[in-house]
Amino acid sequence: MARIALSSALAPYTDGVLELELEVANVRQLFQALGERYPELRQHLEAGIAVAIDNEIYQDALLQPIARDSEVILISKIAGG
């Protein structure tokens, strides 16, 4: 099971849950699983979430694999100017 942590700023959309474990093989599956569990989170997942997998940040990388014992953290997407 991959360990999923959410950036504290996402707490309002998950009723305060910031840590969980999920059986997911890539980012897309992760978003699907989270979206099902926390409907309010869904629009934010699409709109502006990046994931750090074992401390490497991935933005718009739905097929990025998540290994069995990965540590995944969801954070806001970064844009720039």
- Binding-site ranges for other proteins (CB under 8 A): 5, 7-9, 11-13, 15, 43, 46-48, 52, 55-61, 64, 73-76, 78-81
Question: How big, in percent rounded to 5, are the helix, strand and coil portions of the chain?
Answer: 35, 30, 35
41 contact partners, CB below 8 Å, separation of at least 6 = 10, 13, 14, 34, 35
Query: Which residue's CB is nearer to other proteins, number 29 or number 59?
Result: 59
Residue 77 beta carbon to other proteins: minimum distance, rounded to whole angstroms = 9
| C-alpha span between 6 and 74 (Å, rounded) | 5
Residue 10 beta carbon to other proteins: minimum distance, rounded to whole angstroms = 9
Residue 40 beta carbon to other proteins: minimum distance, rounded to whole angstroms = 10
